[in-house]
């Protein structure tokens, strides 16, 4: 396991684009989290209103709200993963690794470990930001800070799911530009089409939709009902299943292919 991590770490460590994208992710996310409740929100007829009136960053709301904000940033991470995977094809280093005695399963396991470490790191980062902003914005001792923190776990699973899906697209198409294009087209359009056309709820459990639903948008909640956010269990189960499906499909893609 340490060997596989080392094999992944050496090329990542010197890859400037990855560190620039990660740095951008963290700085932008920290800034937007801080500014989250200072935006104006245009709610149709009633005109513009300040989000600050809802106190979005107090415990326990801070957990689902920042997790929701974080899910927009997953796209940057998906680009990183697609780049990492497709580089191995364009530099032909996967081919060389196999010649040197890495197995196809080890290659896949290495990439999954990177995805796991990346998801975990950013979950911890999100957790720290949420804790800090939550403590600043909550009256002390009012509500235990752990309440609602299950959304931190949901963020981890969501990120993991997005990235395993991104890896699959990278392995499928092997070229960064095609993989990113199809990934965007698929998750923004193709997957939503059957739902829009038929209106069947079952299409909410397609991979991208299930991952999106995992952390629901806070805005409708504040406008429509003031109930505490619930973790959607069905979406959680669907996401975990999809992670398994994409990992398995990636294995099938890579195990017999000529490289």
Partner 1 sequence: MNPVLTLSNLSKNFGNLKAVNSVTFSVEKGSVFGILGPNGSGKTTTLGMLLGVLQPSGGNFSWFGEAPSAASLKRIGAILETPNFYPYLSGKANLKLVAAIKECGEDRIEEVLRQVNLLDRAKDKFRTYSLGMKQRLALAAALLNEPEVLVLDEPTNGLDPQGIAEVREVIGQIADSGTTILLASHLLDEVEKVCREVAILKKGELLYCGPVEGVSNDLSAQYVELSADDLKALEQVLSKHPQIMRITPRDKGLIATFTETIHGGDLNGYLFQQGIVLNHLAVRQKSLEAQFLELTNKNQ
The reply to whether 252 sits near partner 1 by the rule CB under 8 A is no
- For residue 21, what are the β-bridge partners? none
The reply to whether 7 sits near partner 1 by the rule CB under 8 A is yes
Q: Alpha helix (H) ranges present in the chain?
A: 2-13, 16-35, 62-90, 93-100, 104-137, 150-173, 176-185, 193-198, 207-214, 218-224, 233-255
- Dihedral sign of CA atoms 133, 137, 140, 146 in order: negative
The reply to whether 19 sits near partner 1 by the rule CB under 8 A is no
CB of 163 closer than 8 Å to CB of 70 = no
Looking only at residues 101 through 140 of this chain, which bind partner 1 when binding is defined by CB under 8 A? 101-103, 106
User: And the tokens for 115?
Assistant: 């995805």
User: In the bound complex, what is the minimum distance in angstroms from residue 108's beta carbon to partner 1?
Assistant: 14
User: In the bound complex, what is the minimum distance in angstroms from residue 119's beta carbon to partner 1?
Assistant: 23
d(CA 133, CA 69): 14
Looking only at residues 210 through 229 of this chain, which bind partner 1 when binding is defined by CB under 8 A? none
48 vs 99, beta carbon nearer partner 1: 99
> Given the rule CB under 8 A, which of 11-19, 122-130, 136-144, 235-243 is the region that contacts partner 1?
11-19
Per-residue x/- track, 62-91, partner 1 (CB under 8 A): -------------------------x---x
> Given the rule CB under 8 A, which of 52-60, 93-101, 116-124, 194-202 is the region that contacts partner 1?
93-101
Pick the closest to residue 18 from 104, 121, 108 (CA basis): 121
Number of amino acids touching partner 1 (CB under 8 A): 26
105 vs 237, beta carbon nearer partner 1: 105
Measured between alpha carbons, how far is residue 59 from residues 54, 144, 146, 218, 232 in Å?
Answer: 12, 8, 8, 14, 19
Pick the closest to residue 10 from 126, 95, 93, 103 (CA basis): 93
The reply to whether 95 sits near partner 1 by the rule CB under 8 A is yes
Contacts with partner 1 by CB under 8 A lie at 3, 6-7, 10-11, 14-16, 87, 91-93, 95-103, 106, 256-259
């Amino acid at each position: 396991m340490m060997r596989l991590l080392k094999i992944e770490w050496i090329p990542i460590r010197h890859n400037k684009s990855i560190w620039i994208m990660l740095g951008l992710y963290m700085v932008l996310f920290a800034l937007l989290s801080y500014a989250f409740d200072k935006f104006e929100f245009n709610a149709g007829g009633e005109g513009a209103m300040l989000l600050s009136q809802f106190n979005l960053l107090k415990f326990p709301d801070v957990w689902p709200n920042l997790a929701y904000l974080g899910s927009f940033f997953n796209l940057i991470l998906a680009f990183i993963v697609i780049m990492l995977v497709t580089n191995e094809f364009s530099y032909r280093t996967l081919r060389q690794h196999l010649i040197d005695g890495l197995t196809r399963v080890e290659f896949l396991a290495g990439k999954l470990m990177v995805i796991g470490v990346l998801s975990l790191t950013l979950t911890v980062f999100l957790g720290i930001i949420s804790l800090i902003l939550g403590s600043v914005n909550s009256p002390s001792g009012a509500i235990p800070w752990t309440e609602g923190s299950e959304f931190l776990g949901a963020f981890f699973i969501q990120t993991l799911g997005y990235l395993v899906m991104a890896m699959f697209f990278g392995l499928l198409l092997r070229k960064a530009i095609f993989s990113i294009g199809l990934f965007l087209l698929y998750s923004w359009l193709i997957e939503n089409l059957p739902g829009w056309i038929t209106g069947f709820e079952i299409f909410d459990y397609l991979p991208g939709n299930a991952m999106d639903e995992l952390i629901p948008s806070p805005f409708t909640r504040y406008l429509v009902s003031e109930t505490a956010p619930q973790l959607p269990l069905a979406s959680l189960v669907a996401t975990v299943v999809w992670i398994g499906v994409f990992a398995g499909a990636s294995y099938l893609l890579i195990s017999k292919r000529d490289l």
